[in-house]
Amino acid sequence: MSALQAIISTLILWVLSGLANIEVPEGLSYWQPDRPHQALSDCVEGLPERQLLQAAAPMQTSRKTLGPLLRVAVWNSYKLEQPGWQQELAELTAQRDLLLLQEVVARAELAPILGERPSLLLQAFTYNQLAAGVMTSAVVSPSAVCGIRTAEPWIGVPKSLLANRYPLHDGQSLLVVNLHGINFVWELEAYQQQLDLLAALVKQHSGPVIVAGDFNSWRQERIDRIGLTLKPLQLRAVRPMPDRRTRIFGFAIDQLWLRGFEVEQAASYVSESSDHNGLLVELRLKPAPPAH
């Protein structure tokens, strides 16, 4: 079976297993925290539509800044459908300062697990009448938020990108970009367009950056495009040890890229409640460069 045939087969199975339960919302609106901060350059200047962001937990916390140490988890939660997801997410929430989650569905059991952590879900579609998309959860509130949806060319169901800006202990700002990458297409045009939107956000930010998520990077050409897009922005890829990240055609599909951090630890673990294994890192913020 060729790679293209395998992708088509995967697409057919995915459609049969759940597409009937998915609805793309018609009305979209842009949301940002009720604070005297600007959005991320108006959520990429010239973007034709703003995206719906929903608070999954109260936007309140006693902690005001992140760093100098930062514990991060990246996990595609597989729509929170498999047994054991509550325990797995509860452990990640207790152990990590920052969670970047993909394929999250706003189930009733979700909010009690997250507690009072400021958590934002960017709705890409409706799944069984519940909002679904990417979620970023942290121990501090974001100062700015931007959400972008990009439709899959073949099936029209969007993939999403959520960018949050957080205050750091040394006065800098951290940009966190949570990506669920375009998947069901062989050509690279739509995939590159999504990467270009990501790059546009990073270019507007001069401080530390974390870019992570399910990139659906299942062929070498996709890996190459990611590198060509992110390396000029002074981001570098993190390879966990041990590296148990989920692979398709031999390529790790979950990625994490950094700027402004030293990696203390990076590992991946086998998830018992998702088709994606999780990625865990501990980071130390580099000193801010001297002002000129």
The fraction of the chain above a pLDDT of 90, given in percent, is 55
- Per-chain mean pLDDT for the chain: 82
Q: How confident is the model at residue 4 (pLDDT cuts 50, 70, 90)?
A: low
Q: Locate 199 and state its tokens.
A: 């790059």
pLDDT tops 60 at residue 199: yes
pLDDT digits (tens, 9 = 90+) for 222-278: 999 999 999 999 999 999 999 999 999 999 999 999 999 999 999 999 999 999 999
Give the C-alpha separation, 67 to 107, whole Å. Answer: 30
pLDDT for the residue 122 = 84
pLDDT digits (tens, 9 = 90+) for 61-112: 668 899 999 999 999 999 999 999 999 999 999 999 999 999 999 888 988 8
Give the C-alpha separation, 90 to 67, whole Å. Answer: 22
pLDDT for the residue 14 = 43
Query: How are beta strands 236-237 and 247-248 bridged, if at all?
Result: unpaired
pLDDT for the residue 171 = 94
Give the C-alpha separation, 290 to 13, whole Å. Answer: 54
Q: How confident is the model at residue 118 (pLDDT cuts 50, 70, 90)?
A: confident
Judged by average pLDDT, the poorest of 118-132, 143-157, 220-234, 249-263 is 143-157
Q: Locate 163 and state its tokens.
A: 């960018």
pLDDT for the residue 127 = 83
Task: Give the predicted TM-score (pTM) of the model.
Answer: 0.84
Give the C-alpha separation, 31 to 12, whole Å. Answer: 35
pLDDT tops 60 at residue 163: yes
C-beta of residue 147 within 8 angstroms of C-beta of residue 176: no
Strands of the chain, DSSP E: 22-23, 53-55, 69-76, 98-105, 119-127, 130-138, 144-151, 158-167, 173-180, 209-214, 236-237, 247-248, 251-252, 254-259, 261-269, 278-285
